[in-house]
Amino acid sequence: MTEKPHPPAAFTLLRPETEETAVIFASPHSGAYYPDSLKQRSVLNIRQLRSSEDAFVDRLLTCAPRYGASFIAAQYPRAWVDLNRSDDELDSALIAGLERSHPGPRVAAGLGVIPRVVSGGRAIYRGKIAQIEAETRLNHVWRPYHAALDDLLRQAHRRHGQAILIDVHSMPSEALDSLGARRPRIVLGDRYGASAVRSLVAQIESVFADEGLAVSRNNPFAGAYITQRYGRPRDNVHVVQIEIDRALYMDETLIEPSEEFEAFRALMERTIARICAIGAQPMRLAAE
């Protein structure tokens, strides 16, 4: 009898030979391992399930160790466990036996740590899942990822006196349509200065602007759980969320790399090199 392949670990971690910068890159929503149990129980097809995935963002960031930075990427998709949510953002409309949901608006919208819907508000399941299944997902995916991320930040801070997390996501083009002429291609989120000092965000903004990309800050995405949990500028721990317009590198309908993918990956390598150089500066980024 052929054994079923063992499920992958929660994340992949690429580390440089020498930690030359305080910068860490992360991609919490690019995981593309969809467990059979999800595909079999979902009312959605795989392309619909993948609509919430930051597809190929991990492939844009794999060069980071060449410039002295670690890179951590989720292996499981956002539709299975959302790593950019707190582990207590649980949804009683999805999880059987849960007395009440977390009171936040994200859970009410079906976008808790175990999502009930994908993009467009499309329900993933016909009914509910067991509470023990939700806890198993958290134990296997959410908790190992965040333990590793927390450890990376502690190591960077201990080695460099500062830590800079660049948390990278992608945004569907339709999310930007309402902005009209002010439409950005890159959105930097720092929770309005709460997760990183403005001088750092300004430098990162300049890196993308120098590549000819329109950049906005905190509109329409200011950052969620990861920026809130880890960003502590007063302690010299900074988190900047980067949202990239998917139209720059992929076919959003087919969920495939576009003809522009390789050119954009080269652009991203240039930006990664410059951001790593910022984090290698010996001067501490004092809180503002």
What mean pLDDT do residues 204-225 have? 96
Instruction: Determine the Cα–Cα distance for residues 30 and 59; give it in Å rounded to an integer.
Output: 9
Is the residue at 106 inside a domain?
no
Is the residue at 219 inside a domain?
yes
Give the CATH number, domain containing residue 191.
3.40.630.40
Is the residue at 36 inside a domain?
yes
In the chain, which ranges are E strands?
11-14, 23-27, 70-74, 95-96, 117-118, 122-123, 129-130, 163-171, 186-189, 215-217, 237-245, 250-251, 256-257
Supply the range of the domain harboring residue 40. 11-81+135-279
36-65 residue pLDDT tens: 999 999 999 999 999 999 999 999 999 999
116-155 residue pLDDT tens: 999 989 999 999 999 999 999 999 999 999 999 999 999 9
Q: What angle do CA 170, 203, 180 make, to 5 degrees?
A: 45
Is the residue at 100 inside a domain?
no
Q: Which helix (H) or strand (E) holds 279?
A: helix 261-279
The SS3 of residue 107 is: helix
Query: Are 245 and 171 spatial neighbours (Cβ–Cβ below 8 Å)?
Result: yes
Is the residue at 154 inside a domain?
yes
Is the residue at 211 inside a domain?
yes
Q: How many structural domains are present in the chain?
A: 1
Is the residue at 141 inside a domain?
yes
pLDDT confidence bin for 281, thresholds 50/70/90: confident
pLDDT confidence bin for 87, thresholds 50/70/90: very high
Global pTM reads 0.94
Query: Are 114 and 94 spatial neighbours (Cβ–Cβ below 8 Å)?
Result: yes
Instruction: Determine the Cα–Cα distance for residues 38 and 269; give it in Å rounded to an integer.
Output: 34
Is the residue at 156 inside a domain?
yes
What mean pLDDT do residues 65-80 have? 98
